Amino acid sequence: MPLSALGMQTRLANSAPTLRRVLSSLSRSSRPIAARFIATQPASDKPYYITTPIFYVNAAPHVGHLYTMVLTDIVKRWHVLKGETALLCTGTDEHGLKVQRAAAKAGVDPKLFCDKGADIFRELARKAEITNDHFVRTTDREHQDAVEYAWYLLQEKGLIYEQKHEGWYSVTDECFYPQSAVQPYLDPPTGRRLMTSIETGSEVEWSSEENYHFRLSAFRDKLLDFYKSNPEWIVPEHRMKEVVQAVESGLEDLSISRPYDRLTWGIRVPGDDSQTIYVWLDALMNYATKAGYPWTPGRESAGGWPADCHVIGKDIVRFHCIYWPAFLMALGLPLPKKILTHAHWTLGGSKMSKSTGRVVDPFHALDRFGSDVMRFYMAHDGGIQDDSSYDNIRIIALYNKFLNQQLGNLASRVTRGKKWSVRGAVERIGGLSQAEWEEGPGSKFRNNSLATIASKIDASFNAYDPRKAVFQITEFVRGANAFFQMSQPWNKALAFGPGEPGEDVDKTVYLAAEALRLTGILLQPYMPNKANLLLDQLGVHHDRRTLQYCNPGDDVDYGAPLVELGTAHQGVLFPPLSSEE
């Protein structure tokens, strides 16, 4: 059984000053990092907790970082749409050799260097409309406390030992590689011969030093048992198979420290100032830190742990799907429920990389196209299974062909029709029973499309496939456009009876308006501003924009616009792109 926080306090209180500082925080009634959630959330009512990886501050972010943030935020917003309490954590990874070297190259104190880098990622999250509840930094005092506490636990359990370590080390990946994982490489521009990682292509250098090690090999069978019991733990499926194969082939113990004379920028090993805690043990603890670790008794799940989902790029699968669960098993903590891995964005056929300079500036992209369009594009074209090629021409085409010509056009035609009234159609048709929709004009569209779209989208999110969900939404909108065009209500409106164009027209307008209302609700996680503008144009009240109201007939009180239609700023959902775009 894992030791409780208070049990550890009794056994280890005199081990070191750093430990006393860590444990003293546990003797308080609550941890500051979790207090704002604990105050309103019963301890037994765990919120949904989702995380991005934390991002290195050694260089500016690129559009791949934006994609990870957006993907995570879409999933979080979906759970909020379902009425759940959901928490999102993002942040920055600020320790390690490459950050130390980058700060030295810039001639700046490492902490000041990290402060600037963290501010840039905070600003990226803000511009992209990311609804993060936490922004963790590995230089935070509370994070250092959690890492030191975890170190003592692992040490107490005999899972840390000191030994000379030799191997190929990548500064870029902050990782040691065995001989079998590296290969010689001739750099064409310089003619320089070097060794690189087969997996990432990063340069490696031979390192021989005395380090602390974690007994990763002892967790091979436990990990395999967990994978067998949770075969869908990693999405997509093929990456789960790769992880299982890697662990089956054997695990070496993991170096978890570097000599302080080589790595000064990091958390010192408790009780041994000659060593610095290796960045991956340090960094991975961030997810638990912001969930309130180490927890006081009775508060274990109040901050969201275990994480419901970690969203990561495919290049860090090994760290999150082998090392991280082994650390958690060692600490006696529950493992995350899901790991959603995504592929990379490429530029001109090559992976985007800060080290090579082949990047797309996400700030420029957000300024050019706006957060809603970029979020939609990245969700629509971003790769879960396979890499995607970033292309401005593709963004413009998606905007023109779908957002403007399909969704925007349908919204304009329905809400601005001169021969009908959306509110009138809702009043006269919205109360029809299911039996009255068994046959007649529009019945097939209502029953086969409107009545099923919400459950289809929910199923895609349950499978952690937001890209499939957005494709389903786009097909739904195209179907609604086709239905409206085929029905031709403008040719069927009765000339007599002002304001009452006839039942056939009312049914067509009502069903098209319902399609737009459902689309607006379902698009909120993807395009929060444009989706809400669409719902404003339809007159949907703010308390009826959740999944609870996402079936035909669930809301019969809309139809009177909440914004003025026809103005330059509010009347057009997706105006044509200017020639400058």
How is the chain split into domains, by residue range?
Answer: 5-369, 392-549
Angle formed at CA 376 by CA 390 and CA 318, multiple of 5 degrees: 60
Q: Look at 352 and 127; give whichever has higher pLDDT.
A: 127
Closest by CA to 67, choosing from 357, 362, 307, 303, is 362
pLDDT in tens, 243-255: 999 999 999 999 9
- Mind giving me the DSSP string for 441-489? TTHHHIIIIITTHHHHHHHHHHTT-HHHHHHHHHHHHHHHHHHHHHH-G
pLDDT at 15: 46
Alpha-carbon gap, residue 118 to 136, rounded angstroms? 9
Residue with tokens 């069903």: 511
- Residue 567's pLDDT band, with cuts at 50, 70 and 90, is low
pLDDT at 24: 53
Contact 210, 272 (CB under 8 A): no
Number of Cβ within 10 Å of residue 394's Cβ equals 14
- Mind giving me the DSSP string for 220-252? HHHHHHHHHH-TTSEESHHHHHHHHHHHHT---
DSSP 8-state symbol, 435? G
Contact 388, 343 (CB under 8 A): yes
pLDDT at 19: 56
- Residue 497's pLDDT band, with cuts at 50, 70 and 90, is low
Closest by CA to 560, choosing from 415, 388, 358, 386, is 415
Closest by CA to 235, choosing from 334, 305, 321, 306, is 321
Mean residue pLDDT across the chain: 89
Contact 333, 2 (CB under 8 A): yes
- Secondary structure (3-state) at 199: coil
CATH code given to domain 392-549: 1.10.730.10
3-class SS letters over 100-139: HHHHHHHCCCHHHHHHHHHHHHHHHHHHCCCCCCEEEECC
pLDDT in tens, 345-357: 998 777 776 666 6
**First-to-final CA distance of the chain:** 61
Closest by CA to 325, choosing from 229, 460, 200, is 229
Alpha-carbon gap, residue 376 to 241, rounded angstroms? 30
Distance of CA 448 to the CA centre of its chain: 32
For residue 580, give every residue at least 6 positions away whose Cβ sits within 8 Å of its Cβ, in sequence order, or none.
none
Alpha-carbon gap, residue 399 to 198, rounded angstroms? 39
Alpha-carbon gap, residue 349 to 140, rounded angstroms? 38
pLDDT in tens, 383-407: 999 999 999 999 999 999 999 999 9
**What single-letter amino acid sits at 17?**
P
pLDDT above 50 (res 363): yes
CATH code given to domain 5-369: 3.40.50.620
pLDDT above 90 (res 168): no
Same fold, 5-369 and 392-549: no
DSSP 8-state symbol, 385? S
